[in-house]
Amino acid sequence: MKKIFWTLMLALAVFLGFALSHWLKPGSGLRFGSTQSVVEQVQTLAQLVTVKYVMQKIEIVDSPPDSTLGKFVQGDNRVLLLAQGIVKAGIDLRQIQPGDVTVSGKKISIKLPLPQITDAYLDDAQTKVVDWQKGFLRDFDKDLEQTTRQNAVDDLRRAARENGILNDANERARLELKSFFEQAGFDPVEFR
């Protein structure tokens, strides 16, 4: 997990470095003449994804027969899925409004939007159906695997929340934005 974090941080740092080098070229520098210009510069970063969790989960979905007699005679259709998923979180900088930013000399104070999960999906190359059972005299349920995959994504999203992905995203976003604004000449940088 640390390897993924540092890779993500390096990619973000490279992105911010290129963005800053573009903005700091003579004649195209960072122009923070007003709160509105600060907001516009920050909003161009759009979604700042700061955390990526890679998680695994075993997901089992049973599909019992509809009739009472079928439950005793036919049995369940069942899918056992070993799911590896990716959950990403960050903050949406497009939500920042002029009232969320206060600039006083070199001091800047910013009210950040709440962190959110930006994406959750299965890594299809690493996700495998381990077992598929079809009940006796049962029709093949073509939607059962898809239902199992969707349940796995929902469970991975829930597990990431429980493991603190939103707190991690908030902390890392503050670190990245603090560095961004310090490189732009602001000091101190405060978040509220």
- Predicted confidence (pLDDT) per residue in 127-162, tens digit: 998 876 765 555 666 777 888 899 999 999 999 999
- Of 103, 99, 123, nearest to 111 (Cα)? 99
**Strand bridging mode 107-110 / 189-191:** parallel
Query: From CA 13, how far away is CA 28, in angstroms rounded?
Result: 20
- Whether the per-residue pLDDT at 25 is higher than 90: the answer is no
What's the domain count of the chain? 1
User: Can you give the pLDDT at residue 60?
Assistant: 83
Please give the DSSP secondary-structure letter assigned to residue 169: H
Q: Note down the domain range covering 180.
A: 2-186
Query: CB of 81 within 8 A of CB of 113?
Result: no
Query: CB of 31 within 8 A of CB of 37?
Result: yes
Helix orientation angle between 165-183 and 144-162, rounded to the nearest 10 degrees: 60
Other C-beta atoms lying within 10 Å of the C-beta of residue 105:
7
Q: In this predicted model, what pLDDT tens digit does every residue of 154-185 receive, in sequence order?
A: 999 999 999 999 999 999 999 988 988 888 88
In a domain, 89, yes or no: yes
User: Can you give the pLDDT at residue 44?
Assistant: 52
User: Can you give the pLDDT at residue 17?
Assistant: 54
Question: Higher confidence at residue 33 or residue 111?
Answer: 111
In a domain, 17, yes or no: yes
Structure tokens at 8: 């993500």
Structure tokens at 192: 């509220």
In a domain, 158, yes or no: yes
State pTM to two decimals: 0.67
In a domain, 192, yes or no: no
In a domain, 100, yes or no: yes
Q: Distance from first CA to last CA of the chain, Å, rounded?
A: 29
Banded model confidence at residue 5, pLDDT cuts 50, 70, 90? very low
Window from 27-36, 90-99, 117-126, 174-183 with minimum mean pLDDT: 27-36
pLDDT mean across residues, the chain: 75
